[in-house]
Structure 1
């Protein structure tokens, strides 16, 4: 039985690291719940070749066919992370950039309204392991946030209320909290470039005052509230916690329990906790 279409829901997806299987799994997790608006939080990297757009569209078509959902309804957006090909992506672009029929790159400082929510997109993060990478092949300096990009983001932040700020890196306070939990965040301690990126996001978050901040990069599922902002930290790829769904009618947030909707998704926040 097909899932009921939910035009007032947004699925936020964690790092997929260029893996088509992770793209398909997280897309199906959303579509199987009737969610057609999907926002991926960076480390996407399925675009840099003549066959990639067609590959994305084949996966979208297959997933929608299996769910008996109209492919034309799917609106998939992504931001850049640190594991991207910046010969193909331009973080300084001022408008959304289509990379396939249903997939759009949102450069740093762009904003739009999706499924009833005003969203500000701001990618970028540091590769703490860059000394083991090859510049121009597996690492680009453009991964880091510049002062000009921050200025553009600040201008966008004050242009109107922001419901959700979508980033790859997170704020300093959230990073410090994730470090207490162990895991991937600890690998990024003592990285001056990471510190500088987080300091810029501190400024952007303060200016935007979003209702929620959603980010990836640290591969850890977590939910917290910092300075009145609800923060959703996403896991990666096929892991539980890599997809979190927002119902914009009542601001209920839930973590998808798996690819199929079995009715046991975990509620993070609902109207009663607003």
Structure 2
């Protein structure tokens, strides 16, 4: 993957969890992020942005663009989630070339395994995750809201694993054996009464993401998807941060790139 440098001089970046086309949240959280992180020009958004084609999706993109312009944010870089229009992404030449797809003036979607550098730190983005609520979603027609390529091909994980180490890894899917956010799932608890086949799909997606995380061995990993704020430092020193979704504390935070110090928003 080509290394893309949005702004090599940024002293810090903002990391954000799921936003779910929540316009009211975007109006609040982007100005707050700019206040928390003076000099930051980049928001790294961890998926379920709800990339789509309809009026709500377009209005959300327009609002995020407007809030970025008004608050000194030059780019929102999305690591796509499971609730994105992958049909739209697949139809763009940039996605086919495995390059960032521009969906707004300030908004880019990063392909699986994409690497870039900000503030001297190497980032690797690998989006996608399995939907445990697949049975409630529509895979066809005008109101489609599920795509089978919400989880990347097995070959994409293998290729990314061979691409070498990175300082920071961005995923939508969670990883096993890290924070308390996934402990219940790993132990077989199912308070949401999700179908067995969807729990199996989630386990496979998590396992592949975990294998990739171990292969890349970043010092820090950020993920969304689980809708829970959590953090952990492993025995080998690696840190994992699970981001909360829109409307909840822990949806954003600031990473200082020189020191790699993290603070929750």
The alignment's TM-score, normalised by the length of structure 2, stands at: 0.81
- Where does residue 252 of structure 1 map in the other structure? 261
User: Could you list the per-position Cα deviations for residues 56-106 of structure 1 after superposition, in whole angstroms to 9, with x for gaps in the alignment?
Assistant: 3454334543x5x4xxx5121001111111111237651111111211100
Report the counterpart of residue 53 of structure 2 in structure 1: 48
Are positions 1:149 and 2:156 aligned together? Answer: yes
Q: Establish whether residue 241 from structure 1 lines up as the match of residue 246 from structure 2.
A: no
Alpha-carbon distance in 2 for matches of 1:186, 1:211: 32
Q: Deviations over 1:25-54 (max 9, x none)?
A: 332221123232110001011452488567
- Bigger mean CA deviation after superposition, 18-27 or 199-208: 18-27
Q: Distance in 2 between matches of 1:10 and 1:189?
A: 38
Deviation at 1:145, TM superposition (A): 2.7
**How many residues in Structure 1 have an aligned counterpart in Structure 2?**
242
Cα distance in 1 for residues equivalent to 2:112 and 2:190:
23
1:269 alignment counterpart:
none
- 2:123 aligned with 1:119: yes
How far 1:23 sits from its partner (Å)?
A: 2.7
**What's the secondary structure of 1:56's corresponding residue?**
helix
Conserved in 1, the CA contact under 8 Å of 2:169 and 2:222?
yes
Match of 2:16 in 1: 13
In the TM superposition, 1:1-274 aligns within 5 A as 7-33=10-36, 34=38, 35-49=40-54, 56-62=61-67, 64-65=69-70, 67=71, 69=72, 74-90=74-90, 93-136=97-140, 137-156=144-163, 158=164, 161-174=165-178, 178-180=182-184, 187=192, 190=196, 191-226=199-234, 227-256=236-265
CA distance in 2, matches of 1:189, 1:112: 37
Give the TM-score, by structure 1 length.
Answer: 0.79
- Provide closer, same or farther for how the CA distance between residues 48 and 241 of structure 1 changes in structure 2, counting only shifts above 3 A: same
RMSD of equivalent CA atoms: 2.8
Instruction: Structure 2: state its 5+ residue gaps.
Output: 1-8
| Contact 1:92–1:149 under 8 Å retained in 2 | no
Instruction: Report the 3-state secondary structure (helix = DSSP H, G, I; strand = E; otherwise coil) of the residue aligned with 1:170.
Output: coil
Q: 1:243 to 1:176 in 2, by over 3 A?
A: closer
Determine helix, strand or coil for the equivalent of 2:211.
helix
